[in-house]
Chain A
Amino acid sequence: MSILGLYNYWIVIILMMAGLYILIARYNLIKKMIGLGVFQTSIFYLYISLGKVQGGSAPILADGVTVYSNPLPHVLILTAIVVGVATTAVALALIVRIYESYNTIEEDEIKAIEALERDL
């Protein structure tokens, strides 16, 4: 049971690290944002699994229900989802602007263009 009790967290950490790996190892800026999305959703999962109570019910008060899951992580993650999509929108707008001035969204090509401009 003790292994099973932490299984959730370990899978979430594997998912987080998958997102982090995409952020580090992929050059395409949109691909980096996809990795950030994977990372973000994994963190939401971690918080929600902290609030789960065995045999509990959704935190909507009703007669005959005595055990509820913790509502506080739900509230925090509701805020985080909306803020996450707002930051994603700003990042994608920045990527569109980068594409308009560099004509590429590959990180290595952008660095090459900047190095060329510095030499001139």
Chain B
Amino acid sequence: MELLITIVLLTFLVAIAIGIIVLRDLLAGVILLGLYSLIAAALFVVMDAVDVAFTEAAVGCGISTILFLGAMSFTKHDQKPRGHDSIVAIVFVVLTGALLIYGTLDMPHYGDPQSPAQTHPELTQHYLYKSPDETGMPNVVTSVLASYRGYDTLGETVVVFTAGIAVLSLLGLIRRRPEEEAPEDAPGDVPTIAADDSERTS
């Protein structure tokens, strides 16, 4: 049953990816990306990663779709994305994919309880069997995230903070600039220059 759900959802993912490649409409692409994240979140639940699933559903499907829609409202969203379906791109992608598939051939099989990642005594085994005594938390993901790998989470917070500053400095300052000084080479400021000309002629 679990295997059947996995195979059906994976087929959905492939269909959505093909849809994103084929469709030229940007809005359809953004909505399909949200759907892609949601189905990936359902697959994470099947694979026991409940914390990842609700983060993916909230952040990947929700916030990132809103960010895309916001960026599209600032740009021309009626424009259809053009592209070249070139032979070089297809060959490159197929070659890379073939190399990656060759690399999976000696990987541990899906769900293998004897794989090195599951049996490592100082990582997985330590987290699973020592964390109740060391942190007192029933959810192992929480205790690893906040305690054992706390510096990772601190770094993540720094990244999010930096990204927030970057977005604010890119978008927050530019809103004032057209009134203060109009850079002459920017096509976006053509209406301002035209207004100046009309003042001069009148």
A interface residues with partner B (beta carbon < 8 Å) = 1-2, 4-11, 13-22, 24-28, 30-31, 33-35, 37-38, 41, 44-45, 48-62, 67-75, 77-79, 81-90, 92-97, 99-106, 108, 117
Q: A28-B26, A92-B71 are in contact. Are A81 and B59 (CB under 8 A)?
A: yes
A74 touches B141 (CB 8 A): yes
In the docked arrangement, what's the CA distance between A60 and B128, Å? 9
A105 touches B75 (CB 8 A): yes
In the docked arrangement, what's the CA distance between A55 and B83, Å? 45
A20 touches B101 (CB 8 A): no
B interface residues with partner A (beta carbon < 8 Å) = 3, 6-7, 10, 13-14, 17-18, 20-21, 26, 29-30, 33, 36-37, 40, 43-44, 47-52, 55-56, 59-60, 63-64, 67-68, 70-72, 74-76, 79, 81-86, 89-90, 92-94, 96-97, 100-101, 104-105, 107-113, 115, 117-118, 123-124, 127-128, 131-132, 138-141, 144-145, 149, 152-153, 156, 159-160, 162-164, 166-167, 170-171, 174, 185-188
B60 touches A41 (CB 8 A): yes
Give the top 10 A-B pairs by smallest Cβ distance, nearest first. Answer: A5-B109, A28-B81, A54-B111, A86-B163, A92-B71, A18-B17, A69-B48, A26-B83, A31-B81, A59-B140
In the docked arrangement, what's the CA distance between A82 and B128, Å? 24
In the docked arrangement, what's the CA distance between A10 and B128, Å? 29
B68 touches A92 (CB 8 A): yes
Q: Is chain A's interface secondary structure helix, strand, loop, or mixed overall?
A: helix
Chain A residues with Cβ below 8 Å from B141 are: 59-60, 71, 74-75, 78
In the docked arrangement, what's the CA distance between A73 and B79, Å? 39
**22 A-B pairs in the complex with CB atoms less than 8 angstroms apart:** A5-B109, A5-B112, A8-B6, A8-B10, A9-B101, A14-B17, A20-B93, A24-B93, A28-B79, A30-B81, A41-B56, A44-B52, A77-B52, A78-B55, A84-B60, A85-B64, A86-B164, A93-B171, A97-B170, A99-B75, A99-B188, A105-B79
Chain B residues with Cβ below 8 Å from A9 are: 101, 104, 107, 110
Q: A58-B50, A72-B117, A93-B166 are in contact. Are A27 and B83 (CB under 8 A)?
A: yes
B82 touches A106 (CB 8 A): yes
In the docked arrangement, what's the CA distance between A30 and B166, Å? 18
Chain A residues with Cβ below 8 Å from B93 are: 17, 20-21, 24
B14 touches A15 (CB 8 A): yes
Nearest CB of B to A37, in Å: 5
B13 touches A71 (CB 8 A): no
Nearest CB of A to B183, in Å: 8
